[in-house]
């Protein structure tokens, strides 16, 4: 009888030690996450380059197809004291958590489309006229795709994001020598496998001053996103995610709540897609160059384009 009581006491003490150890580990991990998160915020520009945009609050997202999540991704460029914001990167990311699949559809900014309430113009003009909401309406009107969320990232913060995630740089195969200089800075890269820091990787993704122009730039943007995804899902990258989230804060506007972001992040880490399937519209289908009022645009068969987009995403 006495032996049974002693055995129970030992078992109880053992459980207590295990619980105390788990609680201690939880507190250490929580402390690390909070410290890294606030360190990321402190290292970023607290003013936020794109915060305060009035038309960002009007986004009327529509539920994505069952089992999937469609997110509008916009990369914007505001130089110096310019009041207008350019939407240089337009993508739709689709995440299918159940099947561990991710798709990335790039929509070329010069695609000639019908902008609701405005008329026919370049696709990126929709953002200038009415922010993410008018871009959502334009994509629905022309491509038949519902978008539930949006995320707008300012290029000014891209370098900080990359340098936080990969302090030693990101390895990229630079397909040709690249040199260009303008008010935004200098792009100077040599052909071959390079390890690029944030500024260099941004320059690589944005370079379009060759015969293929935006067509090649869209391909490089997709290539960069794939490389960053691999970096983020590495052991080294995972330890930096809390600081990365803090760093991103001032440079991103989104209608995704913190709990939604955390849920997607958890699913993405636990069920990481093996690869990202990509497509570019209208580069990957029939299209031709045109000019409207002196401006270069990309013309296309609207019905064929809509069908190609829906087949890719659905």
User: What HEC string does 7-45 produce?
Assistant: HHHHHHHHHHHHHHHHHHHHHHHHHHHHHHHHHHHHHCC
Q: For the segment 129-162, what is each residue's pLDDT rounded down to a tens digit?
A: 999 999 999 999 999 999 999 989 887 778 888 8
User: Taking phi first (over 0 means left), then psi (-120 to 50 degrees means alpha), and beta for anything else, what does residue 80 get?
Assistant: left
CA distance 169 to 155: 17
DSSP-assigned beta bridge partners for residue 180:
187
Is residue 47 domain-resident?
no
Q: For the segment 146-205, what is each residue's pLDDT rounded down to a tens digit?
A: 999 998 988 777 888 888 888 889 999 999 999 988 776 788 999 999 999 989 999 998
Phi, psi of 287, deg, nearest 5: -160, 165
pLDDT at 42 over 60: no
Tokens of 2: 């006495």
Is residue 23 domain-resident?
no
Whole-prediction pTM: 0.79
Is residue 27 domain-resident?
no
**Could you tell me the residue range of the domain that residue 171 belongs to?**
54-313
Is residue 16 domain-resident?
no
Q: For the segment 75-132, what is each residue's pLDDT rounded down to a tens digit?
A: 887 654 444 566 789 999 998 878 888 899 999 999 999 999 999 999 999 999 999 9
Which CATH number does the domain housing residue 158 bear?
3.40.630.190
CA 84-115-139 angle, 5° bins: 100
Contact 145, 309 (CB under 8 A): yes
Is residue 14 domain-resident?
no
Is residue 15 domain-resident?
no
Tokens of 197: 């820091």
Is residue 19 domain-resident?
no
DSSP-assigned beta bridge partners for residue 291:
296
How many domains does the chain fold into?
1
Is residue 232 domain-resident?
yes
């Amino acid at each position: 009888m006495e032996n049974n009581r002693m055995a129970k006491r030992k078992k109880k003490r053992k459980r207590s030690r295990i619980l105390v150890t788990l609680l201690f580990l939880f507190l250490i991990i929580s402390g690390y996450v909070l410290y890294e998160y606030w360190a990321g915020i402190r290292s970023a520009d607290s003013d936020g380059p794109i915060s305060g945009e009035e038309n960002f609050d009007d986004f009327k997202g529509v539920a994505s197809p069952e089992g999937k999540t469609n997110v509008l991704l916009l990369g914007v460029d505001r130089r110096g004291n310019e009041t207008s914001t350019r939407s240089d990167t337009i993508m739709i990311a689709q995440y299918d958590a159940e099947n561990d699949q991710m798709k990335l559809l790039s929509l070329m900014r010069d695609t000639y489309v019908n902008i609701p309430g405005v008329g026919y113009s370049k696709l990126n003009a929709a953002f200038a006229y009415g922010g993410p909401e008018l871009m959502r309406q334009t994509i629905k009107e022309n491509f038949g795709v519902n978008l539930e969320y949006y995320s707008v990232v300012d290029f000014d913060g891209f370098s900080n994001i990359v340098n936080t995630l990969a302090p030693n740089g990101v390895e990229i195969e630079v397909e040709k020598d690249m040199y260009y200089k303008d008010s935004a800075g200098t792009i100077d890269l040599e052909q071959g496998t390079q390890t690029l820091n944030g500024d260099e990787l941004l320059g690589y993704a944005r370079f379009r001053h060759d015969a293929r122009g935006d067509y090649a730039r869209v391909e490089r943007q997709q290539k960069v996103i794939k490389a960053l995804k691999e970096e983020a899902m590495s052991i080294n990258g995972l330890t930096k995610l809390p600081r990365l989230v803090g760093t991103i804060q001032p440079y991103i506007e989104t209608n995704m709540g913190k709990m939604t972001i955390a849920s997607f992040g958890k699913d993405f880490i636990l069920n990481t897609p093996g690869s990202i399937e990509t497509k570019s519209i209208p580069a990957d289908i029939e299209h031709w160059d045109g000019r409207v009022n002196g401006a270069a645009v990309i013309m296309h068969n609207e019905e064929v384009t809509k069908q190609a987009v829906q087949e890719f995403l659905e």
